Chains A and B, each alone.
Chain A
Amino acid sequence: MKVRINPERCQGHGRCYDLSPGLFGDDEEGYGRVRGDGIVPPGQEHDARLAALNCPEHAIDLLEEA
Chain B
Amino acid sequence: MAADDRFTQDYRETREDQRPGVRGEVVTGPVSDWATDFSHVEPEWAADPYRIQDDLRQRCPIARTGRFGGAWLPTRYEDVAAIAYDTERFSSRSIIVSNFRPPRELAPVGTAPPISSDPPFHHDARKLLLPAFTKAQAAKQEPATRAFCHALIDAFAGRDVVDAARDYAQHIPVRVIAGVLGFPLEDGPQFREFVEDLLEGINLPPDERIDRVSRLFDYLLARVNDRLGNLREDLTSYLINAELYGRKLDPSHVVGAMALLLIAGVDTTWSAIGASLWHLAKTPADRERLVAEPGLLPTAIEEFLRAYAPVTMARLVKDDMRWRGVDMKADDWILLSFPAANRDPAQFDRAGEVVIDRAVNRHAAFGLGIHRCLGSHLARMELRVALEVWLQRIPEFTLADPPAVTWAAGQIRGPRALPLRIH
Mark A residues whose CB is within 8 Å of B.
11-14, 17-18, 26, 28-30, 50, 53-58
A20 nearest CB across to chain B (Å): 13
A11-B369, A26-B134 in contact; A18/B376 too (CB < 8 A)? no
A28-B131, A30-B130 in contact; A12/B359 too (CB < 8 A)? no
| 7 nearest A-B pairs in the assembled complex, by CB-CB distance | A29-B130, A11-B372, A30-B134, A53-B360, A56-B362, A28-B131, A30-B130
Identify which of A14, A28, A55, A57 contacts B377 (C-beta below 8 A): A14
> What chain A residues lie within 8 Å of B298 (beta carbons)?
18
Identify which of A26, A30, A57 contacts B368 (C-beta below 8 A): A57
Identify which of B134, B363, B370 contacts A29 (C-beta below 8 A): B134
- Distance of A54 Cα from B348 Cα, bound (Å): 12
Are A12 and B130 in contact (CB-based, < 8 A)?
yes
Main secondary structure of the interface of B (DSSP, over half): helix
Identify which of A17, A28, A30, A54 contacts B361 (C-beta below 8 A): A54
A13-B376, A30-B377 in contact; A50/B130 too (CB < 8 A)? no
A-B contacts, 20 of them at CB < 8 A, read A11-B368, A11-B369, A11-B372, A12-B130, A14-B377, A26-B134, A26-B135, A28-B134, A29-B127, A29-B130, A29-B131, A30-B131, A30-B133, A30-B134, A54-B360, A54-B361, A56-B362, A56-B366, A57-B368, A57-B369
Identify which of A14, A56, A57 contacts B135 (C-beta below 8 A): A14
> What chain A residues lie within 8 Å of B370 (beta carbons)?
11
- Distance of A64 Cα from B364 Cα, bound (Å): 27
- Distance of A58 Cα from B368 Cα, bound (Å): 11
> What chain B residues lie within 8 Å of A12 (beta carbons)?
130, 372
- Per-position 1/0 for B364-399, Cβ under 8 A of A: 101011101000110010000000000000000000
- Distance of A50 Cα from B362 Cα, bound (Å): 11
- Distance of A29 Cα from B369 Cα, bound (Å): 15
- Distance of A18 Cα from B298 Cα, bound (Å): 9
- Distance of A50 Cα from B298 Cα, bound (Å): 14
- Distance of A30 Cα from B290 Cα, bound (Å): 29
A15 nearest CB across to chain B (Å): 8
- Distance of A56 Cα from B360 Cα, bound (Å): 10
Given contacts A18-B380, A58-B362, 7 further A-B contacts (CB under 8 A): A11-B369, A11-B372, A12-B130, A30-B130, A30-B377, A50-B360, A54-B360
Are A14 and B376 in contact (CB-based, < 8 A)?
yes
Identify which of B127, B130, B372 contacts A13 (C-beta below 8 A): B372
Closest residue on chain A to residue B130 by CB atoms:
A29
> What chain A residues lie within 8 Å of B363 (beta carbons)?
56
Closest residue on chain B to residue A57 by CB atoms:
B368
- Distance of A3 Cα from B372 Cα, bound (Å): 23
Identify which of A17, A29, A50, A56 contacts B364 (C-beta below 8 A): A56
Taking CB atoms and an 8 Å cut-off, the chain B residues in 127-185 that contact chain A are 127, 130-131, 133-136
- Distance of A17 Cα from B302 Cα, bound (Å): 15
> What chain A residues lie within 8 Å of B364 (beta carbons)?
56
A11 nearest CB across to chain B (Å): 4
Most chain A beta carbons < 10 A, residue from B127, B370, B376: B376
Closest residue on chain A to residue B368 by CB atoms:
A56
- Distance of A30 Cα from B376 Cα, bound (Å): 11
B140 nearest CB across to chain A (Å): 14
Closest residue on chain A to residue B371 by CB atoms:
A11
- Distance of A66 Cα from B130 Cα, bound (Å): 39
Closest residue on chain B to residue A27 by CB atoms:
B134
A50-B359, A56-B362 in contact; A17/B135 too (CB < 8 A)? yes
A10 nearest CB across to chain B (Å): 10
Are A30 and B135 in contact (CB-based, < 8 A)?
yes
Taking CB atoms and an 8 Å cut-off, the chain B residues in 321-378 that contact chain A are 359-364, 366, 368-370, 372, 376-377
Most chain B beta carbons < 10 A, residue from A17, A30, A57: A30
A44 nearest CB across to chain B (Å): 16
